[in-house]
Amino acid sequence: MQNPSPVPASLLTDAQQAEIADARAASASTRRATAPGLEALLFQAIPVLDKGFVRVVDYMGDDNAVVQGARVSYGRGTRAVQSDRGLIRYLMRHRHTTPFELAEIKLHVRAPIFVTRQWFRHRTASINEYSARYSVLEREFYVPPPESVAAQSASNRQGRGAAMAPEQAARVVEMLRDDAARCYDNYLWMLNEAEGEAHDPGRAGVARELARINLPVGIYTQFYWKVDLWNLLRFLSLRADPHAQAEIRAFADAILGVVQAWVPAVHDAFADYVMNATTLSGPAPALLRAALAGREPLDPAAFGLGGRELRELVETVPELAGRIQAAASPDLA
Amino acid sequence: MQNPSPVPASLLTDAQQAEIADARAASASTRRATAPGLEALLFQAIPVLDKGFVRVVDYMGDDNAVVQGARVSYGRGTRAVQSDRGLIRYLMRHRHTTPFELAEIKLHVRAPIFVTRQWFRHRTASINEYSARYSVLEREFYVPPPESVAAQSASNRQGRGAAMAPEQAARVVEMLRDDAARCYDNYLWMLNEAEGEAHDPGRAGVARELARINLPVGIYTQFYWKVDLWNLLRFLSLRADPHAQAEIRAFADAILGVVQAWVPAVHDAFADYVMNATTLSGPAPALLRAALAGREPLDPAAFGLGGRELRELVETVPELAGRIQAAASPDLA
Amino acid sequence: MQNPSPVPASLLTDAQQAEIADARAASASTRRATAPGLEALLFQAIPVLDKGFVRVVDYMGDDNAVVQGARVSYGRGTRAVQSDRGLIRYLMRHRHTTPFELAEIKLHVRAPIFVTRQWFRHRTASINEYSARYSVLEREFYVPPPESVAAQSASNRQGRGAAMAPEQAARVVEMLRDDAARCYDNYLWMLNEAEGEAHDPGRAGVARELARINLPVGIYTQFYWKVDLWNLLRFLSLRADPHAQAEIRAFADAILGVVQAWVPAVHDAFADYVMNATTLSGPAPALLRAALAGREPLDPAAFGLGGRELRELVETVPELAGRIQAAASPDLA
Amino acid sequence: MQNPSPVPASLLTDAQQAEIADARAASASTRRATAPGLEALLFQAIPVLDKGFVRVVDYMGDDNAVVQGARVSYGRGTRAVQSDRGLIRYLMRHRHTTPFELAEIKLHVRAPIFVTRQWFRHRTASINEYSARYSVLEREFYVPPPESVAAQSASNRQGRGAAMAPEQAARVVEMLRDDAARCYDNYLWMLNEAEGEAHDPGRAGVARELARINLPVGIYTQFYWKVDLWNLLRFLSLRADPHAQAEIRAFADAILGVVQAWVPAVHDAFADYVMNATTLSGPAPALLRAALAGREPLDPAAFGLGGRELRELVETVPELAGRIQAAASPDLA
């Protein structure tokens, strides 16, 4: 992983930075497996979006934990580096998932509420979130940079299309910022507290759990997230994907860098066999074989292929397009 | 369960009511176990809060499914009603949880986002939520009735204390309503669509996934929720509890009524042995025994009891208060 | 699904058959979705292996439950059959898994212990198993038919190779049967009970939980298994696979028939996009494209392909073999 | 925890002992939290039963991880030791379970198959077990010591009663040993392999997955087990309980010692508020209060108490017995 971008001064308070520096300064001796690439990153805030971050706060295991688990071994469980790497790739290619569950990581994340709502749909993880019933939320909202403000996609009903004209984007950004600011001001007014004291002693403060209900889903919250390596990879395969919303994808991309620093052999196998893999539906190989055997023009319907499924296949192997009979061309339009 | 309150006219559109009526009118023959109390409720919206609801959309099993599973039986698995009821109570008292997993229910719920954020922390359930990336959210916000607007509790850092003065409560309600209305107006302006057409053809509409980030957590969303009976009872034991936020508790109370209609024997055992049960910590029975044996004044410290733990015990059995030696009284203040 | 094979007379006792017949005879009216293909099968024992079976004892939902959940609908949620089917295929192809969790099934299974040990590794399911601490196990062991007795595979370290010579196979079968019989006789001797009475009043019977520890893993046990449709398909994708042990595969094949009777559209999408799908690793499409573009001889290493990964690709598309340069042939041997 | 008993010479091979010694000798520097009590135990085999063991092979977090998670903190998250301990006790008493999920442990266990069948019913854990399809099982069987051989309990249908007469116990032990030995000899004969070579070159060896089906459930297997602290405590609350079978309880007791060495504050809170806690059903406190108020004779039925539930209450607080009216005495017999 490249060095994470420097932490903007505004991301953390001085007290928070001091706490992190203290934690990084401490060191102890352990008999456990350590991952040097992750030790270097430990506790540091990796910036994501305008005010979010990901921090690794603990981890268990390394590439070798996967090998050791697959072999149910008494010692380190490793043999030659080459054969360990080969075993990891074999396990990944054949979706032998349980050894990948034997490594674990714990992150501290600051993210907007609408991002956490997508994040927490992944159920196989442990979560402790900052409580807005118990504590006052900070004045931190996600405001997209103007170049991220895009129109609704025409082709993909749940995504973004073209970027908007700069002056229109600026207006949207301003509107989002104003709404958030006004709601937060009203939140503070309702709470009526300043450092433990009532701001206006003439009235009671509203309970926190109630005053927060007008805060926008763009407000930042924070949480501890602990997950095993396999379920982390599952999360990344869905959230580092082009179909994911750009904002959660920014977090997933940052975490992909963490995975690379932590378990490089697993990271590479995951990239080759999951992230960049292509799944062909049942009839597709037969069509490919016929094309390679020189039979043409090919009739996709004779292979049980058509519609969106055929279009996706031709996107993967564009050389097929010219060999398919004209009658199927509407499917490819 | 008493009849659910009549559905306010504004809760559902005419089209939705017609869909529900159609679903209720259909009927089929089945060899499966049926729960008559739940068939009567099926598909109907049970109103919760100002614009929320819970609807049972499907279920599997009844009281007898628990008995049948515990006995791994070939047929209905039941014997005398009395002995079935006794078995259910025994299983509940001793936390033999797996037979309770053998019944299942599916609900359709409309609830504010801040409620769903508490709800979805329960991980052993299946969820399909309305997508604000794909669709436009409705103009429905939770606005608490003035009598629910309460001050922050002094004794309980995460709860509500006394109700606020009426004019102050009214001002809070108005503030929440205004913030929500303004944010929603701006959301619509950004979307720039009305029934599929651009409202203002001179500019592009912002992508839905982005335009929604200024919407407050008080906005209503809806989801399908499918859960087994045991995990439903777990949810209820935490969310129908006085420590839960009033708004999610309103949903839990409505669902308790559903459970009573569905599996009455399980409901009663759950009430006696979980909801209304009391847990005594290790040393407490010895103190109770000493009190019944007439030894006094009692020294709680000699039993390893003190602080908040002692106070909770005396709240459960107030007759102990007068028998505890004066030295321990600060703990009870 | 074809009609299940007739139940052998010895599979169930008369009392069990009567219980099943009673359950099948009962019928009730329901507002819930029903799956006619599954109603026809309900409660019947589908024979598997020599003395095992699978019985559907309850279910929730049908093909339409998937559609209804994906649309978070108020009514049946369906439109034209054609568009529902298309939505199911889209969801399956893109692994939108949550709507498939909204249907549920409950099975009663009798299977050998070594099969259940593989079965119960699937954690997202509810299980109630017959207790060998509480009850006496039946005298039923799995004994493979002679034609299933195979040698250890030379190429696949965890599978079977060629069938053995008939007289050797017969000897193995006899050995397995004798071991099981002797162990079971000794189990009964230790229990020293016959229909509740001590067989030999001169000595105490050993506790059931202890007497059973010499019983072989080939003995049959039985259990209730409740699982959602998505996790059932996951189970089938691993256990109806050629790499699974033949004995659990026999159960998976029987359950595939149940899925086809229950949710035919989901079954077909699963067959096309999961069971019969092929996954190409990251570099494979580039090699295929080069082959279709007529570039040859191809150097797999230049595409980052080699070893077992290359061999698996050539097994899928044998037409590639002749176009790959000779230097890579050791990988294909 | 007291020092674990010395490892019997026969428990591990020399090669295994050397692997463990190597792993213990390695040491690295880490920024992560370390638990000194657990570092001391790391990798060592703690003997359980005759040939089983538990080895801690990795861990993440300590008492403080619970505190840090509950506070979603930037640094170590701790304050005074006293207040941290108080927070842990509060969280345990009120079943705020999520912070306890933030610590994790990984064990290597050797246990009989019948024990693993109870163990793996706990679904929230990661497991990698030695494969009897891929490898040859070792000649290691659980044989209970004669003093553990007990008769079936008369009062508890799933437990052991009185110990058996020595000569009867000895006969049972011999029978179990003989059955296991004979089955294992036949297993080896069927495998027909000795250190990779066919023993008898005149016949094929049976596939491992098939040859093992006559092995008894008392044979030892081994597995890696990774679990979070909360789910580990759940496991212990059920398996270190007097109702659990003695053999799995021996493993649970060993693991309780590990928990004490790892997270002493959590261990103590768990002992006080879970292991040694008593749950009173809904009506019980009212009866206790009436007894303390001196009202007698008490009529349990008037409080809604009777049967087994009443008997369990009187077992907890025997002083109640003399104050209950004679009419209720059959329930107490």
pLDDT in tens, D38-71: 999 999 999 999 999 999 999 999 999 999 999 9
pLDDT in tens, D284-324: 999 999 999 988 889 999 998 888 888 888 999 999 988 98
Of chain A residues 248-307, which have a CB less than 8 A from chain D? none
**Contact across the interface for A19 and D75, Cβ inside 8 Å:** yes
Backbone phi and psi for residue D80, each to the nearest 5 degrees, phi listed first: -65, 145
Question: Closest Cα of chain D to B113: distance in Å?
Answer: 21
Give yes or no for A128 touching B (CB within 8 A).
Answer: no
Q: How far is B86 from chain C (nearest CA, A)?
A: 18
Contact A39 D31 (CB under 8 A): yes
Q: Can you tell me the distance from the alpha carbon of B106 to that of B56, in angstroms, rounded to the nearest whole number? A: 6
Q: How far apart are CA D168 and CA C133, in angstroms?
A: 21
Report the alpha-carbon distance of residue B19 to residue B42 in Å, rounded.
Answer: 13
C272·A283 Cβ contact <8 A: yes
The verdict on C93 touching A (C-beta cutoff 8 Å) is yes
- Which residues of chain B are under the pLDDT cut of 70? 1-7, 9, 77-78, 194-198, 327-333
pLDDT in tens, C63-74: 999 999 999 888
Type and span of the H or E element at D179: helix D166-191
pLDDT, position D330: 65
* Predicted local confidence at residue D13, as pLDDT: 93
List the single residue in D271, D280, D319 with the smallest CB-CB distance to B289: D319
Amino acid B325: pLDDT: 82
Q: Express each pLDDT in C246-266 by its tens digit.
A: 999 999 999 999 999 999 999
D55, D110, D212, D239: the active-site residue: D239
pLDDT for the residue B56: 98
How do residues D82-116 score in pLDDT, each as one tens digit? 788 989 999 999 899 999 999 999 999 999 999 99
Residues of A annotated as catalytic are 239
Give contacts of B 197-216 with A, CB under 8 A.
203-210, 212-216
Q: Which residue of D has its CA nearest to A32?
A: D58
Tokens of D323: 């104050």
* Predicted pLDDT at D181: 97
For B31, which of C42, C65, C102 is closest by C-beta distance? C42
- Closest residue of C to B99, CA-based? C128
Q: What HEC string does chain B produce?
A: CCCCCCCCCCCCCHHHHHHHHHHHHCCEEECCCCCHHHHHHCCCCEEECCCEEEEEEEEECCHHHHHHHHHCCCCCCCCCHHHHHHHHHHHHHCCCCHHHHHCEEEEEEEEEHHHHHHHCCCCCCEEEECCCCCCCCCCCECCCCHHHCEEECCCCCCCEEEECCHHHHHHHHHHHHHHHHHHHHHHHHHHCEECCEECCCCCCCECHHHHHHHCECCEEEEEEEEEEHHHHHHHHHHHCCCCCCHHHHHHHHHHHHHHHHHCHHHHHHHHHHHHCCEEECCCHHHHHHHHHCCCCCECHHHHCCCHHHHHHHHHHCHHHHHHECHHHHHHHC
3-state secondary structure chain A: CCCCCCCCCCCCCHHHHHHHHHHHHCCEEECCCCCHHHHHHCCCCEEECCCEEEEEEEEECCHHHHHHHHHCCCCCCCCCHHHHHHHHHHHHHCCCCHHHHHCEEEEEEEEEHHHHHHHCCCCCCEEEECCCCCCCCCCCECCCCHHHCEEECCCCCCCEEEECCHHHHHHHHHHHHHHHHHHHHHHHHHHCEECCEECCCCCCCECHHHHHHHCECCEEEEEEEEEEHHHHHHHHHHHCCCCCCHHHHHHHHHHHHHHHHHCHHHHHHHHHHHHCCEEECCCHHHHHHHHHCCCCCECHHHHCCCHHHHHHHHHHCHHHHHHECHHHHHHHC
User: Are C277 and A281 in contact (CB < 8 Å)?
Assistant: yes
Subunits adjacent to chain D (3 or more Cβ pairs under 8 Å): A, B, C
Mean pLDDT of C44-51: 97
Kindly list the residues from chain A whose CB atom is less than 8 angstroms away from the CB atom of residue B210: 144, 148-150, 160, 172
Interface of A with B in 151-180 (CB under 8 A): 151-153, 157-162, 164-165, 168, 172, 175-176, 179-180
**pLDDT by residue (tens digit) across A67-126?**
999 998 887 766 777 788 989 999 999 899 999 999 999 999 999 999 999 999 999 999
Per-residue pLDDT at A325 exceeds 90: no
Q: Which residue of C has its CA nearest to A317?
A: C289
Nearest by CB to residue B209, choosing from A121, A158, A189, is A158
Q: Which residue has the tokens 């039979």?
A: A295
CA trace torsion D62, D64, D66, D71 (10° rounding): -160
List chain C residues with CB under 8 Å of A307: 86
Q: In chain D, what residues touch A28 (CB-CB under 8 Å)?
A: 29-30, 32, 34
Mutate to test the interface with B, among C16, C224, C227 (most CBs of B within 10 A): C224
Whether C164 and D215 lie within 8 Å, measured CB to CB: no
Give B150→chain C minimum CA distance, Å. 34
Q: How many CB pairs under 8 A join A and B?
A: 159
From the list A93, A278, A317, the residue facing C292 with the nearest CB is A317
Q: What is the pLDDT of residue D1?
A: 43
The Cα A194–Cα A189 span in angstroms is: 10
Q: Is the pLDDT of residue A252 over 50?
A: yes
Residues in C closer than 8 angstroms to A86, CB to CB, are 307
What's the pLDDT at D157?
72
Q: Which residues in chain D are closer than 8 Å to A26, comparing Cβ atoms?
A: 31
List the end-to-end C-alpha distance of chain C, in Å, as a whole number. Answer: 40
- Please, what is the average pLDDT of chain D? 91
Go through chain B and tell me how many residues it has.
333
The catalytic site residues of C sit at 239
CA distances from D30 to A29, C119, C191, D39, D130 (A): 6, 40, 56, 13, 31
Structure token pair of residue B112: 């504010």
Contact D292 B293 (CB under 8 A): no
Nearest Cα neighbor of D113 from C231, C132, C263 is C132
A125 CB within 8 Å of a chain D CB: no
For every residue of C58-70, DSSP letters joined together read: EEE--HHHHHHHH
Give me the total of CB pairs closer than 8 Å, taking one residue from chain A and one from chain C. 80
Q: How many CB pairs under 8 A join B and C?
A: 142
Output phi, psi for C291, to 5 deg.
-65, -45
In Å, how far is C96's CA from the nearest CA of chain D? 24
Of the spans A161-165, A221-225, B5-9, which averages the highest pLDDT?
A221-225
Q: Which residues of D touch C124 (CB under 8 A)?
A: 123
Compare A153 and D2 and report the one with higher pLDDT: A153
What is the rounded CA–CA span in Å between residue B60 and residue B232? 13
- Do B280 and D279 lie within an 8 Å CB cutoff? yes
Share of chain A above pLDDT 90, in %: 72
Rounded to 5 degrees, what angle do the CA atoms C94, C97, C101 make? 155
Which residues on chain B are in Cβ contact (under 8 Å) with A205?
Answer: 151-152
pLDDT of A329 higher than 90: no
If we measure between CA atoms, which residue out of A260, A262, A266, A310 comes closest to residue A288? A310
Residue A70 has φ and ψ, to the nearest 5°, of: -65, -30
Which of A23, A70, A102 has its CB closest to that of D106?
A102
Mark yes or no for CB contact B207/A159 under 8 Å: yes
- H-helix or E-strand containing D228? strand D220-228
Q: Quick one: what percent of chain A has pLDDT higher than 70?
A: 93
What is residue D77's predicted lDDT score, i.e. its pLDDT? 66
Of C272, C283, C288, the CB nearest to A288: C288
State whether A179 and B186 contact (CB < 8 Å).
Answer: yes
Q: Do A292 and C90 touch (CB under 8 A)?
A: no
**What's the pLDDT at B2?**
46
In this complex, the residue of B26, B108, B127 whose CB is nearest that of residue C98 is B127
Which is higher by pLDDT, D252 or D9?
Answer: D252
Cβ-defined contact of D273 to B288 (cutoff 8 Å): no
Alpha-carbon gap: A239 to the closest alpha carbon of chain B (Å): 14
Average pLDDT, chain A: 91
Cβ of D22 within 8 Å of Cβ of A59? The answer is: no
Across the interface, of B90, B279, B320, the residue whose CB is closest to D279 is B279
